[in-house]
Amino acid sequence: MGPTNYNCVMVWFFARGTQSLRVETRYDAATAEYVLVLPRENGEERVERFADVGAFRTRLEALEEQLEADHWTAVAPPMLLKDGWKLT
């Protein structure tokens, strides 16, 4: 699946010292799934998919707690690409 299957993408930026981290959240209209994209240390991405918005929200809250515990700080509000969360 290519990026054109996504109704929108929201990007979150975090920093820790001189390190930076980019986390993406998406809604995949083709599969009706919420998607979380996390970078891996080797430069690849780990993609997690959720059919249920509640499970997706729970995962995002856990990720936020994990990042905070690991001393990552949000450096800007999330950037919404395209026109926002459109559930069609």
Whole-angstrom Cα distance, residue 55 to residue 51? Answer: 8
The pLDDT value recorded for residue 5 is: 55
The predicted-structure confidence for 18-74, as pLDDT tens digits, reads as follows 999 999 999 888 899 999 999 888 889 999 999 999 999 999 999 999 999 999 999
Q: How confident is the model at residue 4 (pLDDT cuts 50, 70, 90)?
A: very low
**Residue 22 near residue 29 (C-beta atoms within 8 A):** no
Reference 60, options 11, 14, 25, 27; nearest CA is: 25
pTM equals 0.78
The pLDDT value recorded for residue 83 is: 52
The ranges assigned to domains in the chain are: 3-82
